[in-house]
Amino acid sequence: MMMSKFNWRVRELIFALVRPLFHLGIRATSHVTGKLRPLDESGSPVVLTRGEREEVPPRRLWVGYLGTSEEYLAEGRADMEAVVSLLAAKGISHPRVALDLGCAAGRMTRHFPRTEESEIWGADISAPHIFWCQRNLPELNFVTVSTAPHLPFADNYFDFVFCASVFTHITDLADAWLLEIRRVLKPQGHLYATVQDKVSAEEMRTTYADVLVPSTIAQLKRLERKHAVSRADCEMFYFDNDPSSRVFYDRDYITRKWSKWMDVVAYEERFYHFQSAMLLRKSASA
C-alpha cells in the first residue's frame, strides 16, 4: 500500500509538471488542430456560478479596444450602423436571419437592428467571449466554434453573415472559410467581410501607428524595408500564425479570386477603420 501511494504521488507530480506543457502545445498548434480558446487554458478545475447580468464585458474581453465603457458600446454601435448603411446603399433589404462570425463579446452583434421575427447569431473560437455573451445577451444566440472551417448550421440558413476583422487573421484556410460561409447563406444572401490590403498596411504604419501593438508596426516596417510590399507586385503577405496572424491582400487579387465563388457587390477602402470592406452575394443557383 505504501508503494502504491508513493507511485500515485509520483504520477500526480509528473502530471502536474507535464500538464502546462501539454496545454502550451495545444495553444501553439491551434491553427492545425482546430482548437478553440477554452474557458480556462490552465487545465485546472472550473466552477461556473450564477451571476448578475453585465452591461459591458470585462476589459480582458475587449480584444484590444480602448477607452471607457460608454465608448466601447458607442463604437460597436457605430460600426454596426456602418454595415447596415452599406446594405441600404446597395438596395439590400434588412436581413432577418444573420450571423456575426468572429463576434468576440458581441460588440457589434448586440447592435444589429432586429424585430420579433429576427434570428441573430454570434459565433467565435473563444469560449470565454461566447460564455459571457450567452449569460449577458440572452435575447441573442451564441455558439462556440473552432478554427476548422465548419459552422453548425444547415445549408442555406442565413440571409446575411458579417465578419469584422476575421479574414484578416486567416491564412491557409481563408478560401475554405469563404466556401463554408457560402454554404450556410441562402441563395442571394450576402456576406460582409473586412480585409487588409496595401492601403490598410500604409494606414497602420502611419495614422494608426500609435494605437496598434508595437510588434505589429515593427513587423510591417520590416516587411516594407526588406520587400517594399507597398510597391511590390505581391498577391498577399502576412506574418505570425493563425489565429493571431496579420494577413494583407492585393485588392485585384482577392477580388478576382473570391469572385469565382461569390458575386462581389462592393469593395470599400478604409471602411472599417483601416480595413477595407467587401460585400459579396451568393448566386441564386449556388
45-93 confidence digits (pLDDT tens):
878 788 889 999 999 999 888 889 999 999 999 999 999 999 999 999 9
DSSP assigned state of 92: P
The pLDDT, as a whole number, for residue 47 is: 82
Superfamily holding 59-199+229-281: Vaccinia Virus protein VP39 (3.40.50.150)
- Assess contact for 191 and 99: CB atoms under 8 A: no
**Cell numbers 496595401: residue:** 198
- What is the Cα–Cα distance from 84 to 20, expressed in whole angstroms? 44
The pLDDT, as a whole number, for residue 17 is: 65
- What is the Cα–Cα distance from 283 to 234, expressed in whole angstroms? 29
CA 206 to chain CA centroid, Å, is: 24
The pLDDT, as a whole number, for residue 44 is: 77
- What is the Cα–Cα distance from 142 to 104, expressed in whole angstroms? 10
130 CB-near residues (< 8 Å, 6+ apart): 103, 122, 123, 124, 142, 143, 144
The pLDDT, as a whole number, for residue 21 is: 56
Using 70 as the pLDDT threshold, list the residues of the chain that sit under it: 1-35
* CA dihedral over 180, 184, 190, 194, signed as positive or negative: negative
* Prediction pTM value: 0.86
What is the torsion angle, in degrees rounded to the nearest 10, for the CA atoms of residue 54, residue 60, residue 65 and residue 71?
30
- What is the Cα–Cα distance from 177 to 159, expressed in whole angstroms? 17
The pLDDT, as a whole number, for residue 16 is: 57
57 CB-near residues (< 8 Å, 6+ apart): 105, 106, 129, 132, 136
The pLDDT, as a whole number, for residue 18 is: 54
Sketch the domain layout of the chain as residue ranges. Answer: 2-33, 59-199+229-281
